[in-house]
């Protein structure tokens, strides 16, 4: 990559960091109660610095206790899902791969739903399994199922992987719906339904630590793996020529992505198509070299989901629209374009 390309990539990264900060402030100011972005900035800085507030305490409570955690969770989840899409597409050399399409998110949702509705009877050594652990187990099982189905009797291909993902996703959706239908706990049913459509409405400060930590650690790890991801994207033979055990690396990466997906789904339910849309958009700006693609995809994924959440809050006067619906409406057209197009910039 030339110096010009390097400079362009850095300019885009810094531009996205600035855009993300502005987007967060503007998103916090939007809602049933409109708050000036200047007041939002003052409230945030006052809370961080421990200074006395210069605005009404009621507005400060709305901003700090309700909107800031929600917007931060949106940015964390968006970054994590975009990262997952980039890594999965390189690992399986498939432009259509992402946790939602391949059924991993659906598997995580099954784990979360079963844990919510049957948590009182699921225990290991008298320790009740939590929702994050249930989601992680579901994601791992779904990942193994997809890889096994796609590799039965022949070499794994794009078509077989997508079909295997569709089968696993349909099966997981059926299990989730059956579990919800048979449950007698009304409150549990409402909570479980939340996981099937995706929502950030229940974001709390104490729920940000785990996903923020996981996304940060996984992002740092894959930034150290960019050369291997480039080799995997070029194909099995190229990876072997460079001394890379493609099968081993693919399993490690898919396991890490299953962990990441499980944690994210446990916090906000299924939010599809982010991992599909963002990597392809960013490749058109910075190319397919992962040293440049990964950071911009993570940043743009955060920006994308912040504004998708804003839409979910303002489109209906009566309440929030599940954010999974918003991302599906935005991502489905691009998915069809990729499915029937030639994906020229993938691996280019």
Q: Among residues 270, 300, 271, which one has the least CA distance to residue 285? A: 300
- Distance between CA atoms of residues 38 and 64, nearest Å: 14
Read off the pLDDT of each residue in 137-159 and give the average, rounded to a whole number. Answer: 77
Domains of the chain: 3-340 (1.10.3470.10)
The dihedral through the CA atoms of 31, 32, 38, 39 has a sign that is negative
Query: Model confidence over 136-147: pLDDT tens digits?
Result: 888 888 888 887
Q: What is the pTM of this model?
A: 0.85
Q: What confidence score (pLDDT) does residue 344 get?
A: 52
**Residue 159 CB contacts under 8 Å (≥ 6 apart), including other chains:** none
Q: Is the pLDDT of residue 160 over 60?
A: yes
Q: What confidence score (pLDDT) does residue 75 get?
A: 96
Q: What confidence score (pLDDT) does residue 157 get?
A: 62
Percent of the chain with pLDDT over 70: 88
CB burial string 18-31: b at 16+ within 10 A, e below: eebeebbeebbbbb
Q: Strands, DSSP E only, in the chain?
A: 123-124, 127-128
């Amino acid at each position: 990559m030339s110096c010009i390309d390097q400079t362009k990539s850095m300019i885009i990264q810094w531009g996205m960091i600035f855009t993300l900060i502005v987007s967060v402030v503007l998103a916090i100011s939007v809602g049933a109660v409109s708050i000036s972005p200047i007041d939002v900035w003052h409230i945030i800085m006052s809370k961080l610095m421990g200074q006395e507030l210069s605005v009404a305490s009621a507005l400060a409570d709305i901003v700090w206790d309700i909107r800031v955690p929600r917007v931060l969770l949106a940015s964390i989840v968006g970054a994590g899902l975009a990262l997952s899409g980039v890594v999965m597409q390189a690992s399986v050399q498939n432009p259509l791969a992402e946790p939602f399409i391949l059924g991993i998110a659906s598997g995580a949702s099954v784990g979360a739903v079963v844990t919510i509705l049957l948590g009182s009877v699921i225990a290991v050594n008298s320790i009740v399994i939590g929702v994050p652990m249930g989601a992680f187990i579901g994601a791992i099982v779904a990942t193994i199922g997809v890889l096994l189905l796609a590799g039965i009797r022949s070499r794994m291909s794009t078509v077989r992987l997508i079909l295997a993902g569709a089968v696993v996703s349909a099966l997981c959706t059926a299990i989730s719906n059956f579990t919800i239908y048979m449950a007698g706990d009304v409150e549990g049913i409402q909570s479980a339904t939340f996981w099937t459509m995706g929502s950030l409405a229940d974001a709390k400060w104490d729920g940000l630590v785990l996903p923020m930590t996981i996304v940060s650690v996984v992002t740092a790890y894959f930034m150290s793996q960019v050369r291997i991801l480039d080799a995997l994207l070029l194909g099995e033979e190229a990876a072997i020529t460079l001394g890379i055990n493609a099968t081993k690396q693919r399993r490690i990466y898919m396991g890490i992505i299953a962990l990441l997906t499980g944690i994210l789904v446990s916090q906000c339910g299924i939010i599809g198509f982010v991992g599909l849309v963002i990597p392809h958009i960013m490749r058109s700006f910075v190319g397919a070299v992962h040293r440049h693609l990964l950071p911009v995809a993570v940043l743009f994924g955060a920006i994308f989901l912040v504004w998708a959440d804003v839409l979910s809050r303002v489109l209906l006067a009566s309440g929030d629209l599940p954010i999974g619906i918003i991302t599906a409406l935005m991502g489905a057209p691009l998915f069809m374009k990729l499915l029937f197009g030639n994906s020229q910039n993938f691996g280019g």
